[in-house]
Amino acid sequence: MKSTPTLYYSKWKGGVFSTVVSTNEMEYTVMCKTSDISGLQNMVRGLMGLPLGGPSSDNKENNPRRTSSNSNSNSNSDHATPDSKALPKRRCNKKTPSPIKTLGNLSKQQTSALTLFMTTAHNIFLTGSAGTGKTHLLKTMIRNSSKGTMVTSTTNVGAVLLEGCSLQSFAGFGVRTPNKDEIKDIFKNDRTLKRWQKTKTLIIDECSMLSAALLTSLNIAGKLAHSSNEPFGGIRLVFCGDFYQLPPVTGEFCFTAPSWAEAGFTTVDLVTPYRQRSDFAAVLDRIRLGTYTASDSTLINSRKITSTTGYNLDDCTILCTHVNQVEKINSSHCDKHETKTFICVDTGAGSMKSVPKELRLFINARVVLTANVNKNRSLVNGTQGVVIRWEKGLPVVRFDLTPDRKLDKLIGFHRFETKLGTRIVASRSQIPLQLSYALSIHKSQGMTLTKVVVDLEKVFETGMAYVALSRVKSLEGLMVKGGAKLGRVSDAVKKFWEAESEAEEQLQDENEGDDEEI
């Protein structure tokens, strides 16, 4: 009995797509330039024994990576082979695309990734080290997304930044990760079921904190909601995150689940750092990969502070491993001053846990913005400053934009929203500030800070030291308490990227031998 071909690997790099299609008897590698994506799709569909067709995000039949491994097709693989001298003529079902809406300049690599998002139906895994523009690119993708796109994050902070909702809120799962029978019960709620049924694209930010169990449940839910055996019920996936950063609070990384392989992600690995200068960025990247040298450790240790070094922490953010440390430090500063309390205004029944109900501020308080107030003037999430006075009952903050440039800005109430698709289910109006004497390392993930103090001796989780160290733009903005324990890299993450690298090398070898076909 002839085996059914299955597609198990797809990779995008350097403007070339490479895809591996396997049967029990043979393995094929198919490649094409980004200018002929439909050619790649048609060749793969030929190998899969499926009808040819152009790329259409609205038609899952035309996306070869969405083909189930239990296809009923009896066709053999004679339709196309990797040895073909010419790719099939490009065909495209899509309408003329709307003008691209950007949030600022994109690099060449980011532009190519955006093109991938807009012109194919591929499931995308967007990754890269800290400060390479993942969030910026993801926001641009969201601006250019079609109806039926749900924007979520595994963290409440990430959800607020993207103006989306938490993944659990979207899924309707609650705190526990449900099994199949429990998901069926959840779908007895018509609103939850319809939300899933209307979802065509699911975006998940901070996917490093997504557990394998939760990914499995999402796959089951998608299939049940859409009455389909396709991966995730045919819902397109866009995952964003860095597995070298913070892992799931409980459970294994999502890539260890069979559902990850079933989704067949196309990986986009951003490589250009924008947050740090190249020399410091290189050190951080080695810490990220667990390949740091003795010189790197010495360099980080050179930023060590002691009771005799004569340092000033007033303009620094202390990054803590535990929330109770954060609350203790920030409260201690409030207790020393006359404070003004700002009470939030809520609408809707949804949860906004990442935005405080009450915010205490005082004159000369160190604060950090928790929302984008004015991007053209660099007043974005993570910008630090000092409350210098009250005006009309509101704080005026002097922001540190550069060492030589400061900006005074009246900060009014900002409306934070929780969305399910385009529908706003809850909002909270609050001053978009937070005392920045201390932040948790978990909450700092995704932020860019000016000056930080990190106690590396208390780091207990893989990726935690790297996340903390990479929040600052320069080595001069970093201070370290305790010994420079630079942390460790998860063995599972190492194996994941080793497998990716091996597959990539194989595809590059094939690419070099088949240049005429590309």
Report pLDDT for 218. Answer: 97
Report pLDDT for 63. Answer: 39
CA gap 453, 472 in Å, rounded: 10
pTM listed for this prediction: 0.66
CA gap 235, 249 in Å, rounded: 26
Report pLDDT for 65. Answer: 35
Residue 225, pLDDT > 60, answer yes
Between 14 and 313, residue with greater pLDDT:
313
Percent of residues in the chain assigned helix, strand, coil, to nearest 5? 35, 25, 40
Which residues in the chain are classed under CATH 3.40.50.300?
113-274
Residue 477 CB partners (closer than 8 Å, separation 6+): 449, 450, 451, 452
CA gap 11, 34 in Å, rounded: 12
C-beta separation of 29 from 81 below 8 A: no
Reported confidence tier of residue 390, pLDDT bands at 50, 70, 90: very high
Q: Most confidently modeled of 55-69, 410-424, 503-517?
A: 410-424
Residue 487 CB partners (closer than 8 Å, separation 6+): 287, 456, 459, 462, 463, 464, 465, 466
Q: pLDDT per residue over 20-73, tens digit each? A: 444 444 444 445 544 445 555 555 444 444 444 433 334 343 333 332 333 333
pLDDT above 90 as % of the chain: 35
Report pLDDT for 461. Answer: 86
Report pLDDT for 77. Answer: 34
Report pLDDT for 14. Answer: 45
Q: What is the mean pLDDT of the segment spanning 271-300?
A: 86
Reported confidence tier of residue 305, pLDDT bands at 50, 70, 90: confident
Report pLDDT for 259. Answer: 96
Residue 337, pLDDT > 80, answer yes
Reported confidence tier of residue 161, pLDDT bands at 50, 70, 90: confident
Best CA proximity match to 388, nearest among 430, 440, 433: 433
Reported confidence tier of residue 310, pLDDT bands at 50, 70, 90: low
Q: What's the maximum distance between 2 C-alpha atoms anywhere in the chain? A: 80
Give me the torsion for CA of 267, 273, 278, 281, rounded to 10°: -80
Q: Amino acid identity, residue 504?
A: E
Dihedral (CA of 285, 289, 295, 300) sign? positive
DSSP per-residue codes, 441-465: HHHHTT--BSSEEEEGGG--STTHH
Q: DSSP letter for 94, please.
A: P
Distance, C-alpha 162 to centroid of its chain: 10
Residue 127, pLDDT > 90, answer yes
Q: What is the mean pLDDT of the segment spanning 2-15?
A: 44
Q: What is the mean pLDDT of the segment spanning 236-260?
A: 94
Residue 114, pLDDT > 80, answer yes
Q: pLDDT per residue over 134-149, tens digit each? A: 988 999 999 999 899 9
User: What is the average pLDDT value for the chain, to the nearest integer?
Assistant: 78
Between 49 and 192, residue with greater pLDDT:
192
Reported confidence tier of residue 132, pLDDT bands at 50, 70, 90: confident
pLDDT above 70 as % of the chain: 72
Report pLDDT for 256. Answer: 96
Q: What is the mean pLDDT of the segment spanning 205-218?
A: 95
Reported confidence tier of residue 432, pLDDT bands at 50, 70, 90: very high
Report pLDDT for 245. Answer: 92
Reported confidence tier of residue 510, pLDDT bands at 50, 70, 90: low
Q: What is the mean pLDDT of the segment spanning 357-367?
A: 93
Using the CB atoms, write b or e for 381-398: b if 16+ within 10 Å. bbbbbbbeeeeeebbbbe
Dihedral (CA of 254, 352, 472, 277) sign? positive
CA gap 45, 79 in Å, rounded: 8
Report pLDDT for 221. Answer: 97
Residue 443, pLDDT > 60, answer yes
Q: What is the mean pLDDT of the segment spanning 197-214?
A: 95
Fold of 113-274: Rossmann fold (3.40.50)
Report pLDDT for 504. Answer: 74
Location of structure tokens 């079921």: 193
Q: pLDDT per residue over 449-458, tens digit each? A: 878 998 777 7
CA gap 229, 363 in Å, rounded: 59
Report pLDDT for 409. Answer: 93
